[in-house]
Amino acid sequence: MKKIYLSMLILILAMSGCGGGGGGDDGAESPSEKPYIVHEDITATIFWIGEKGGEDNGGIPNLDSVWDDMWLEHYGGVDDPDDREGYRPASFVPLENPFYAALPYNDFDEDGKKKRGIEKYIPWVDGSESPYESVCKNRWIEVVYGDRKVYVQWEDAGPFGENDIDYVFSDAEPANGINDSAGIDLSPAARDYLGMGDMAKVSWRFVDEKDVPEGPWREIVTRRGVSWGGVYRPSPGVEWQWQLQGDINESYDVELYDIDLFDTDRNLIDRLHERGIKVICYFSAGSWEEWREDSASFPDSVKGNELDGWPGERWLDIRDTRVRDIMKKRFDMALSKGCDGVEPDNVDGYSNDTGFDLDAEDQLDYNIFLSREAHARGLSIGLKNDLEQIAELEPYFDFALNEQCHRYAECDMLTPFIEADKAVLNAEYARRYVDDENARHKLCRDSNRRGFSTLVLPIMLDDSFRYSCLQE
């Protein structure tokens, strides 16, 4: 059920961190390996994304959830319980797992802050989690009805409560007294797989992701983190400026600037904000750069091959948790400087000679991690290049930034962003677009037809020249 306070502006946000459990090297039992309580003879009721408020659900609609105020949009539509195709809604393919559930607990309070003392109750929590991390959203639950067993992900709080910690994590009975003391809400997909009606007695327990067997619940796994308050999402056709070197030229009359995270101070960002300009902050998320102030934080073991044509820059092992921890600090820096969003670069290492055995799944996992970390802090995030994975990643990113799709005839691959009403920021470097006015006009006609925001820029991005196709 949605939280009453979702309309409040929440500045402290959180990401999902509830997949599988971890483990130590000392052989001790890790939090996630402790046995989970089986809750027996619990009344399960049915709810669905997009459900309107009515008598059966206390007048509380399910357009949003306690962890996602754009739940309906992120799922892709109304999860109609009466119009199904297999275990999915018949009218569309959902973007998130149709096997979902609600339990009456939320790990954040009414101010959007992590509740204190939860490590005493929640068996997979040890107190070291980030304040930006939800320890509940996306957690796996095993539900048993008769001789049928289904696996669902925890995506909302309910039925009729979000503070029943004694029931959810201990052996107490549900505190709720409505609908035969219902203690778990299940999605239409879970209902259909179990073969139950709209209310039934079930048993349930938490399970670690590594212990979830194959099944229809594995076809689409929800990874999206907490999303409250919304983030800046530029629309197609937005005017922008991109400069990463030299003194920033602040004179352009545009909606957004894309500038370097490390080289930009808060005063410049404040000046742009005073003019109503949004600021996107650039940093490399997939490479080590020897000149960055945090370069010594990267262990040698995570540094791979040099990037072709970029001395002093080496690919990173994006699977390593130490790399991810450093990126979290960079997101924190962007937040502290007042950036409205981020542009993480080099997020297509799997298709390059990095020196590491990275595959497409590694890259998807890392890029979704970046999206979750940005959104957890209320930051917009753009997908830089990585054209081959746009279909999977578009739902997680707020705009696309592409280099030279016109030159390499790759612009069609960016269409999903335009169809989702998200900006495609395109930069072209080919010299013919500078020297040949006819070539530039042809480029701009095609770009404007597509709804892209194309700039012709120097490859060093030093503002030595600039042509905007939107001004053609």
What is the per-residue DSSP string for 13-61? --EE--SS----SS-PPPGGGSPPPPEEEEEEEE--TTPPP-GGGTT--
Which distant-in-sequence residues (6+ apart) come within 8 Å of 243 by Cβ?
Answer: 249, 257, 258, 259, 461, 462, 463
pLDDT at 276: 93
What pLDDT digit, counting tens, does each position of 209-258 carry?
999 999 999 999 998 878 766 689 999 999 999 999 999 999 999 999 99
Q: Is residue 393 part of a domain?
A: yes
Cα 452 to Cα 238: distance, rounded to the nearest angstrom: 8
Q: Is residue 223 part of a domain?
A: no
Distances (CA, A) of 402 to 75, 200, 275, 415: 26, 51, 26, 12
pLDDT at 55: 63
Of the residues 150, 185, 218, the one at which a domain ends: 218
Percentage of residues of the chain with pLDDT beyond 70: 90
60 compared with 87, residue with greater pLDDT: 87
In a shared domain, residues 213 and 119: yes
Which distant-in-sequence residues (6+ apart) come within 8 Å of 32 by Cβ?
Answer: 20, 21, 22, 23, 123, 124, 208
Report whether pLDDT(2) > 70.
no
pLDDT at 22: 31
Entry pTM: 0.65
What pLDDT digit, counting tens, does each position of 313-324 carry?
999 999 999 999
Q: Is 398 helix (H, G, I), strand (E, B) or coil?
A: coil
Per the structure, how many domains does the chain have?
A: 2
- Give the model's confidence band at 15: pLDDT under 50 very low, under 70 low, under 90 confident, else very high: very low
In a shared domain, residues 208 and 275: no
pLDDT at 225: 79
Q: Is residue 188 part of a domain?
A: yes
Which distant-in-sequence residues (6+ apart) come within 8 Å of 362 by Cβ?
Answer: 318, 319, 350
Q: Span 263-277, mean pLDDT?
A: 95
Cis check: omega of the bond before 159, within 30 degrees of 0: yes
Q: Quick one: how many helices (H) and strands (E) in the chain?
A: 10, 22
In a shared domain, residues 214 and 249: no
In a shared domain, residues 283 and 177: no
In a shared domain, residues 107 and 150: yes
In a shared domain, residues 14 and 51: yes
Q: How far apart are the first and last CA of the chain?
A: 49
In a shared domain, residues 408 and 269: yes
Residue 136, phi then psi, degrees to nearest 5: -120, -45
- Give the model's confidence band at 116: pLDDT under 50 very low, under 70 low, under 90 confident, else very high: confident
Q: Is residue 357 part of a domain?
A: yes
Percentage of residues of the chain with pLDDT beyond 90: 78
Q: Is residue 234 part of a domain?
A: no
In a shared domain, residues 301 and 261: yes
Full domain range(s) for residue 165: 4-218
Q: Is 10 helix (H, G, I), strand (E, B) or coil?
A: coil
The alpha carbon dihedral of 112, 114, 117, 119 has a sign of: positive
227 compared with 392, residue with greater pLDDT: 392
- Give the model's confidence band at 11: pLDDT under 50 very low, under 70 low, under 90 confident, else very high: very low
Q: Span 428-454, mean pLDDT?
A: 97
What tokens does 317 get? 């092992």
Distance of alpha carbon 268 from its chain centroid, rounded? 28
Cα 159 to Cα 186: distance, rounded to the nearest angstrom: 10
Q: Is 115 exposed, middle or buried (0-12, 13-18, 19+ CB in 10 A)?
A: middle
Q: Which residues pair with 424 in a beta bridge?
A: 400
Report whether pLDDT(289) > 50.
yes
List the CATH number of the domain containing 180. Answer: 2.40.40.10
**Beta carbons of 466 and 454 less than 8 angstroms apart:** no
pLDDT at 130: 67
Q: Is residue 231 part of a domain?
A: no
Element (H, E) at 134: strand 133-134
Q: Is residue 67 part of a domain?
A: yes
Q: Span 343-350, mean pLDDT?
A: 97
Report whether pLDDT(28) > 70.
no
Q: Is 225 helix (H, G, I), strand (E, B) or coil?
A: coil
**Beta carbons of 203 and 311 less than 8 angstroms apart:** no
Q: Span 270-290, mean pLDDT?
A: 96
Report whether pLDDT(24) > 50.
no
In a shared domain, residues 213 and 312: no
Q: Span 424-442, mean pLDDT?
A: 97
Q: Is residue 225 part of a domain?
A: no
In a shared domain, residues 197 and 260: no
Report whether pLDDT(356) > 60.
yes
**Beta carbons of 337 and 281 less than 8 angstroms apart:** yes
In a shared domain, residues 165 and 20: yes
pLDDT at 428: 98
In a shared domain, residues 316 and 445: yes
Cα 466 to Cα 469: distance, rounded to the nearest angstrom: 10
List the CATH number of the domain containing 289. Answer: 3.20.20.70
Q: Span 402-411, mean pLDDT?
A: 97
**Beta carbons of 217 and 150 less than 8 angstroms apart:** yes
